[in-house]
């Protein structure tokens, strides 16, 4: 029977006076789960975007900033050289490394291997744990380090250097032409023997004029070190036009 009100109109089920039935408990639970999954998914997307931005910053933008700073510092060194004869000021850098198989263009070399120094897109010579010799020393090991990824990544292609390749170091007055003779694809970052005046791990047993390049490996990590050794082959005086050695032409 349909109940009627005072004016005789029937009150239909679901009409204004009806009370809505509560949704089933299982439906409410599924709704909460769906909301939680949605929020978690949005968080994952946000984290993914942040990680992607961090990777772009680390592997691209730091290179842009470092290369810009390296060019500025390199220009300062060359301006100092252009002043003419006199005492050589090496506070801003001692010279430039050239290695066609390693890096296009020149790499400024400065004192020290601290992160703050290398982050400027340069290479640095060791002052500790084993002090580096200088190219102009009569004997010793000229030991250099640079980043492999980010911050200029000047030694990124170190694995492309092969035995027999030329590596040239340029100072204001002299070109030092080295020749790669050995590589060590992986060693402990605590292996200071690779920096010794006589790098015996490279096979050498007598004093000489050596060059050691070191950087992190594997790529995108700093767990181990990649080492390349070269030996001085000859020197050339720098002429007025700064004519490059044949190996760089």
- State the pLDDT at residue 3: 46
> pLDDT tens, 30-42?
677 767 666 666 6
Instruction: Indicate whether 233 belongs to any domain.
Output: yes
- State the pLDDT at residue 74: 96
Instruction: Indicate whether 28 belongs to any domain.
Output: no
- State the pLDDT at residue 189: 95
Nearest to 124 by CA among 132, 245, 29: 132
Instruction: Indicate whether 144 belongs to any domain.
Output: yes
List 98, 151, 216, 224, catalytic entry: 216
- State the pLDDT at residue 36: 65
Q: Is 224 a catalytic residue?
A: no
Instruction: Indicate whether 71 belongs to any domain.
Output: yes
- State the pLDDT at residue 7: 47
Q: 121-135: b or e for each residue (b if 16 or more CB lie within 10 Å)?
A: bbbbbbeeebebbeb
List 98, 147, 151, 156, catalytic entry: 147
Instruction: Indicate whether 21 belongs to any domain.
Output: no
- State the pLDDT at residue 104: 83
Counting the structural domains of the chain, the total is 1
Instruction: Indicate whether 52 belongs to any domain.
Output: no
- State the pLDDT at residue 99: 94
CA dist 198 and 188 (Å) reads 18
Task: Please list the ranges in the chain whose pLDDT falls under 70.
Answer: 1-28, 30, 34, 36-60, 85-87
Instruction: Indicate whether 192 belongs to any domain.
Output: yes
- State the pLDDT at residue 45: 63
Torsion of CA 222, 226, 232, 233, to 10 degrees: -140
- State the pLDDT at residue 49: 52
CATH of the domain at 200: 2.40.260.10
| Bridge partners of residue 98, in order along the sequence | 106, 168
Q: Is 151 a catalytic residue?
A: no
- State the pLDDT at residue 53: 45
DSSP state of 59: I
- Which residue is associated with the tokens 């810009």? 68
Instruction: Indicate whether 190 belongs to any domain.
Output: yes
Give the residue numbers spanning the domain of 92. Answer: 62-248
């Amino acid at each position: 029977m349909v109940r009627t009100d005072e004016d005789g109109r029937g009150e239909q089920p679901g009409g204004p006076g009806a009370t809505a039935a509560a949704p089933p408990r299982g439906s409410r639970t599924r709704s909460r789960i769906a909301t939680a999954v949605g929020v978690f998914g949005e968080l994952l997307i946000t984290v993914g975007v942040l990680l992607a931005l961090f990777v772009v910053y680390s592997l691209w933008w730091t290179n842009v900033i470092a290369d810009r700073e390296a060019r500025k510092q390199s220009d300062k060194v060359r301006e100092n050289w252009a002043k003419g004869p006199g005492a050589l000021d090496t506070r801003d850098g001692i010279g430039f490394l050239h290695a066609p198989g390693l890096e296009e263009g020149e790499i400024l070399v400065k004192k020290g291997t601290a992160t703050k120094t290398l982050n400027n897109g340069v290479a640095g010579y060791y002052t500790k744990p084993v002090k580096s010799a200088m190219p102009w020393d009569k004997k010793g090991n000229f030991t250099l380090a640079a980043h492999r990824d980010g911050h200029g990544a000047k030694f990124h292609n170190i694995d492309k250097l092969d035995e027999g390749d030329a590596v040239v170091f340029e100072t204001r007055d002299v070109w030092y032409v080295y020749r790669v003779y050995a590589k060590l694809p992986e060693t402990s970052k605590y292996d200071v023997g690779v920096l010794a005046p006589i790098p015996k791990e490279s096979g050498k047993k007598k004093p000489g004029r050596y060059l050691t390049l070191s950087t992190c490996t594997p790529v995108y990590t700093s767990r181990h070190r990649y080492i390349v050794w070269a030996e001085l082959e000859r020197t050339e005086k720098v002429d007025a036009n700064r004519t490059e050695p044949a190996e760089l032409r």
